[in-house]
Structure 1
């Protein structure tokens, strides 16, 4: 039988390359030409495995469009599930390969669904064609199969902590570092971006998490991440133990509450005495992070940042108020006071905007991603903050504001439901669960979710999304969670299990059941994945990638910088363009618009291969629902 390792070796798979550089203009491309893209095998599946009683759908693929068509092979009529150690068949499955599967528009593949759900005995397995020519990754069947990837994915927040030493034993060999951004002029005494020479603007903004592959941090997004982690805890508390290997492990508190507090404490430092909350903190780059010695600069307060913090503080106060851990009751009171103070400022200042790294606010160079929001999303933040505050305080004065804001949401006005308006959607579901909530709201939500989301299996790789773009893996994870919510809303109709199966399709996609045959987490070979991410975009370059980071994923909008191939400043910089666009990710079917590379400007690999705490939190929320 052909082993999977032999499959990769036959294609000449290159070794793991060093990680890419910061998102800035560098004098030359720091990496050699990225290795050629490696096609997925004909059989793709969840490389971590399946719980015994869950549906197990293996995808048999035959490419007809994209870079991998030269490796296409015909599906077989017979497939075996074999014991991975003995290679003995444990079950035989037939596939009606004579019926041509339609071409999946997202991938350019014919895709057949092979249902191996009858394999329920715990063990380690591999799927092969009857003639042994087609071989899958190995996978486990076990009730606790998703705990290892959850542990490593959660630990990435620890590695993203600013101002905190990554020490043995938690950090592991090769990933230790001293506390970063604590020198003169850095986070402990950050200054206003527009007044860098004014010592009177210095603020203590220590802590928090690096947002993505660089070290900047944004209030709107940190608030989202804290709230998502806490919602994940409330959805399945049993998934969150005190043993994830972070410094606080073993203190008697679920580690997710400890990690979320690290982010919340930074948000509290970003709040001024008047209740306003600063919008963004820009940090210097270096590898490792402690090598960054440049100053830290912050952007002014904005209405969106303040409302984001108000809603997250209020929700967090509810969570910590119910925690029996010592000190959490007092912390909840502090969060409630901060939420009310932020709310009052936002109501008095309803339209204060700040665009970072943008000429509109004269802030070019502060941060990277744009954190300011459009009016619809600002209204959604107002609704969410009022909703959580109304339940937290019991004050009915929040209800008229909440109702007026909800009436203006696209969720109510046009029945919009998607992976982007999660702040409003989560708040509406939260309100609907309250005992005093009108039953009409729950009925409306149940009708909306079941009308927009079908419990029936989708063709192809089973992961329909509204659109694919930069950060598609975050969209996939959030869409999977939407299906779980639909199942909960329709449980009385007996649809909880079918909707959970659809949510699992998205999880399996992220774990390798995709046309790239890639588990979209970094360095997970020791935790069950045959083919995980080995090269990704990251300012902190390590010889071996830190495990567990979720990368952005396929992006059909990827392109090199507009200066390429001839206008990047000089011949050396032009040469960094490599003379032609890398394909993939360029010019491929949407789900094949991915490549393992970490090059910075001008190839801009961050469009597909950068990590983000936003993707991370969304993935953990979906995954935790299936961890026992």
Structure 2
């Protein structure tokens, strides 16, 4: 076992012999995760079948503490499907469920029957924070046109690549020869393990990364050691801006967008992009690249609007570029070029077409139309313009936007699918979260997503049925090139349903539970006990992929190629994953393996074609990063120094604050968390952009501050709810119903500013010694306010319902 795979110094066992057939998430589980299951595997078929494992019925297992080998949990195993061998993994398995263990710490699974132990793991609500941070840093390592220095790259450095003569600062049009005026197209991210850059391949990348931030902004800091760290903008957005800036350079004056920026040969230098000195080229504009550009740029404009102080005018620049691109599309209604290709070919020096050494990034007419729908949805959400709304609503179910005959909303069972029409999935989520969207269309979208979380033959149903012994169901045909990306997106679809508040709370909870199980697959709970994120021993992995196919840290690199090199590859790259359709019949594994074991950790180039298995890509990485972001410890609500902070997203948020026994309960957009009342002595709710609604439905004894953001913010105190505001408040609409009570804390000088105030017959609003301003635009509320004061005065007793204050009483 290599030094990268050895147990960390924190792992000081005295019990049992380690076994990679006791399979765990090598990083761990969130302490409050609803389901924690380790797997015992007997590899009947496949590359590890020389090993074996056997357990009797109801065999005991224990969860032991790493610190002293003491017992933290005891249980008995349950056998999957009465001992059947699963065809997809090749294994028989047993489950060790320790969900009731919630105490944070370092643990391992121990099997006393065989005297075997698992790799160690953590229980910690922050366990995935460092994993997400490591994953996102790979985008920094993918930067093109800039040096990665030791101050920021640590052990993984190189000089600036593709900035020499006739390279990205002066790229030429490729039409079979070097033609046209040079274009400055430097920057952006290298797409994958090669040094090419593609506009059409950015659609899912930018959407996943931007939504990950918008849906969980509390998860992202400004301190991940990239050059922009500390500038007041979350580092993930600085990184996204690096790619957005390149996209802007790819746009022509008429709004159209170039398709690719690439090499003509695969002779890509010597383990360093700066040693690749061949000329660089771009290809002509295409309508599908233009639509892809719009989807990314319009989305970016929305997000960067919140950071105009740090990047003045940037949001406006993005919006104008997106609208200019749309004007080009409107004037070019058919796919252009009509061939669906950009004229640059593909295959390069190792191919047959004599074109660029790059994927063709082509399209068909239906794909072009799907991307236009996606572009319209993003522009509508960014601008609110009826032009884009009308286009979306006229085309969202157009039969000519189907993908291989499938459409998410018109199939016999409407549903989202990660492998086909995925651009429509994203377009529909964007549209459904846009103020002013058609309620009928939103209902169609939500109904399709509800099928994803309720139908027995889709992901949640198959999870409930335990179809996949490794608890992350995917049809076996999807274990193909890029299977790890497909698996990430299947889980992300479940989280779309959660984010859109689809179905019942029980259905959403089950969907989120199932989605988290997929995350464990990438972290080692799979038939090979392999963490599919590269070189992650420093953050807890005991066996991670070490030989990704990549031109920089490729086969033979003395610094970066695998466990025998000085440093190994940069940490955190998601490799492509098992591929049962691997093209080289003489290399087994991966050829000839059960689908889930069709993997080999190696990076040899042509003719071994390892890129079909281990090459990373920015779209794989973004899909995984979105999934991981849903389960980071920095969730929407957390307690620190006895302060409960609830942070909204940049979407429309529905937040509920209540109580259950000794806990406060917080629900936001269908997700629920609980916090012990004894640990909370103040509460802050921070709404960001979007229209946000806070409902308080129980007696909240801890004083509360509500900080509104852009959008229309409403606060509803309902039922027996009560709340005390500790600071001045500005709220668009305050409604207190039933026997609800809202109070502005004593101390004077505070002001409650509302645009709308509604008080129920049995409700109270207490100003104490503070002030109220009703900032109305039409129809004076004076009579209503006077009536509420008179009701509260109750003939001078001041014990009635309505609007009261200590100052009035005195």
The alignment's TM-score, normalised by the length of structure 1, stands at 0.87
Question: Which residue does the alignment assign to 2:27?
Answer: 48
Q: Is the 8 A contact 1:525 1:531 kept in 2?
A: yes
Matches within 5 A, 1:76-475: 77-97=59-79, 100-131=82-113, 133-173=115-155, 175-194=156-175, 196-198=177-179, 200-283=180-263, 285-286=268-269, 287-321=271-305, 323-328=306-311, 330-349=313-332, 350-352=334-336, 353-355=340-342, 356-358=344-346, 364-408=354-398, 409=401, 410-414=407-411, 415-420=414-419, 421-454=421-454, 455-456=460-461, 457=463, 458-459=466-467, 460-466=469-475, 467-475=478-486
Specify whether residues 589 and 195 from structure 1 end up closer, same or farther in structure 2 by C-alpha distance, changes over 3 A only: closer
Q: CA deviation at 1:316?
A: 1.1
Q: Is the 8 A contact 2:64 2:109 kept in 1?
A: yes
Specify whether residues 99 and 105 from structure 1 end up closer, same or farther in structure 2 by C-alpha distance, changes over 3 A only: closer
Q: For residues 408 and 309 of structure 2, what CA distance do their matches in structure 1 show? A: 39
Please give the per-residue CA displacement for 1:454-513, whole angstroms capped at 9, x wherever unaligned: 435333111222422100011111111111122333254432221111101110001111
Structure showing greater radius of gyration is 2
Q: CA deviation at 1:526?
A: 0.6
Higher strand share goes to which structure?
2
- Residue 112 of structure 1 aligns to a residue whose secondary structure is strand
> Which sections of structure 1, spanning at least 5 residues, go unmatched?
10-38, 561-579
Q: CA deviation at 1:196?
A: 4.1
Q: For residues 483 and 79 of structure 2, what CA distance do their matches in structure 1 show? A: 31
Question: Which residue does the alignment assign to 2:767?
Answer: none
Q: CA deviation at 1:423?
A: 2.3
Q: CA deviation at 1:393?
A: 2.2
Q: For residues 53 and 397 of structure 1, what CA distance do their matches in structure 2 show? A: 46
Q: Is the 8 A contact 1:596 1:609 kept in 2?
A: yes
Q: Is the 8 A contact 2:106 2:121 kept in 1?
A: yes
- Residue 110 of structure 1 aligns to a residue whose secondary structure is strand
Matches within 5 A, 1:506-545: 506-541=518-553, 542=560, 543=565, 544-545=568-569
Q: Is the 8 A contact 1:597 1:605 kept in 2?
A: yes
1:502 and 2:514 correspond: yes
Q: Is the 8 A contact 1:213 1:539 kept in 2?
A: yes
Q: Is the 8 A contact 1:487 1:498 kept in 2?
A: no
Specify whether residues 58 and 367 from structure 1 end up closer, same or farther in structure 2 by C-alpha distance, changes over 3 A only: same
- Residue 511 of structure 2 aligns to a residue whose secondary structure is helix
1:482 and 2:493 correspond: yes
1:70 and 2:50 correspond: yes
Q: CA deviation at 1:545?
A: 1.0
Matches within 5 A, 1:585-600: 585-600=590-605
Q: CA deviation at 1:327?
A: 4.3
Q: Is the 8 A contact 1:42 1:135 kept in 2?
A: no
Q: Is the 8 A contact 1:40 1:516 kept in 2?
A: no
Q: CA deviation at 1:99?
A: 7.1
Q: Is the 8 A contact 1:56 1:115 kept in 2?
A: yes
Question: Which residue does the alignment assign to 2:715?
Answer: none
Specify whether residues 359 and 149 from structure 1 end up closer, same or farther in structure 2 by C-alpha distance, changes over 3 A only: closer
Q: For residues 365 and 245 of structure 1, what CA distance do their matches in structure 2 show? A: 39
Specify whether residues 364 and 506 from structure 1 end up closer, same or farther in structure 2 by C-alpha distance, changes over 3 A only: farther
Q: CA deviation at 1:72?
A: 1.5
Higher helix share goes to which structure?
1
Please give the per-residue CA displacement for 1:349-375, whole angstroms capped at 9, x wherever unaligned: 231132543499x97331422311233
Q: CA deviation at 1:117?
A: 1.0
- Residue 92 of structure 1 aligns to a residue whose secondary structure is strand
- Residue 151 of structure 2 aligns to a residue whose secondary structure is coil
Q: For residues 357 and 250 of structure 2, what CA distance do their matches in structure 1 show? A: 16
Q: For residues 19 and 174 of structure 2, what CA distance do their matches in structure 1 show? A: 47
Q: CA deviation at 1:145?
A: 0.6
Question: Which residue does the alignment assign to 1:555?
Answer: 579
Q: Is the 8 A contact 1:380 1:423 kept in 2?
A: yes
- Residue 246 of structure 2 aligns to a residue whose secondary structure is helix
Q: For residues 79 and 611 of structure 2, what CA distance do their matches in structure 1 show? A: 39
Q: For residues 497 and 98 of structure 1, what CA distance do their matches in structure 2 show? A: 23
- Residue 79 of structure 1 aligns to a residue whose secondary structure is strand
Question: Which residue does the alignment assign to 1:12?
Answer: none
Q: Is the 8 A contact 1:253 1:325 kept in 2?
A: no
Instruction: Say which structure, 1 or 2, has more relative contact order (CA 8 Å, 6+ apart).
Output: 1
Number of residue-to-residue matches in the alignment:
573
Please give the per-residue CA displacement for 1:97-132, whole angstroms capped at 9, x wherever unaligned: 597333323101112222111221111111121235
Specify whether residues 559 and 158 from structure 1 end up closer, same or farther in structure 2 by C-alpha distance, changes over 3 A only: same
Q: CA deviation at 1:223?
A: 3.8
- Which deviates more, 515-524 or 285-294? 285-294
Q: For residues 601 and 195 of structure 1, what CA distance do their matches in structure 2 show? A: 24
Question: Which residue does the alignment assign to 2:763?
Answer: none
Q: CA deviation at 1:95?
A: 1.4
- Residue 103 of structure 1 aligns to a residue whose secondary structure is coil
> Which sections of structure 2, spanning at least 5 residues, go unmatched?
7-17, 402-406, 455-459, 554-559, 635-810
Q: For residues 310 and 479 of structure 1, what CA distance do their matches in structure 2 show? A: 25
- Residue 68 of structure 1 aligns to a residue whose secondary structure is coil
Specify whether residues 97 and 398 from structure 1 end up closer, same or farther in structure 2 by C-alpha distance, changes over 3 A only: closer
Q: For residues 85 and 378 of structure 2, what CA distance do their matches in structure 1 show? A: 45
Q: For residues 155 and 50 of structure 1, what CA distance do their matches in structure 2 show? A: 22
Q: For residues 493 and 380 of structure 2, what CA distance do their matches in structure 1 show? A: 24
- Residue 124 of structure 1 aligns to a residue whose secondary structure is strand
Q: Is the 8 A contact 2:189 2:243 kept in 1?
A: yes
Structure 1 segments (4+ residues) deviating >6 Å: none
Aligned Cα root-mean-square deviation (Å): 2.3
Specify whether residues 169 and 491 from structure 1 end up closer, same or farther in structure 2 by C-alpha distance, changes over 3 A only: farther
